[in-house]
């Protein structure tokens, strides 16, 4: 069973990711961070991975975000959307 915190993060990512991935996020060419200041790492149910309970990123994704090219940041958004869909399906 997926935790309520992960489901909240998944719903948020599912809402935010499509306009960001389509380039219609109003960010003026930059890719907005998925961070929402929850910043708590937790083990993904049924996995050996840790994801942030607020944004579903791994520690490596969080640590490297500010140095990544916009294309790589959007790739992370795409991965977050896939994680969110997985969590909702497992719900």
pLDDT in tens, 35-73: 999 999 998 777 788 999 999 999 999 999 999 999 999
Please state, rounded to an integer, the average pLDDT across all residues of the chain: 89
**Euclidean distance between CA atoms 13 and 37, whole angstroms:** 14
The pTM for the full model equals 0.89
The token duo for 66 is 């500010």
Please give the angle made by the CA atoms of 51, 57 and 59, to the nearest 5 degrees.
75
């Amino acid at each position: 069973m997926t935790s309520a915190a992960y489901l909240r993060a998944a719903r948020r990512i599912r809402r935010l990711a499509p306009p960001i991935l389509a380039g219609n996020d109003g960010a003026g060419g930059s890719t907005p961070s998925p961070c929402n200041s929850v910043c708590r790492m937790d083990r993904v149910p049924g996995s050996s991975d840790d994801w942030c309970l607020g944004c579903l990123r791994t520690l490596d994704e969080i640590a490297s975000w500010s140095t990544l090219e916009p294309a790589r940041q959007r790739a992370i958004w795409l991965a977050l959307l896939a994680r969110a869909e997985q969590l909702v399906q497992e719900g």
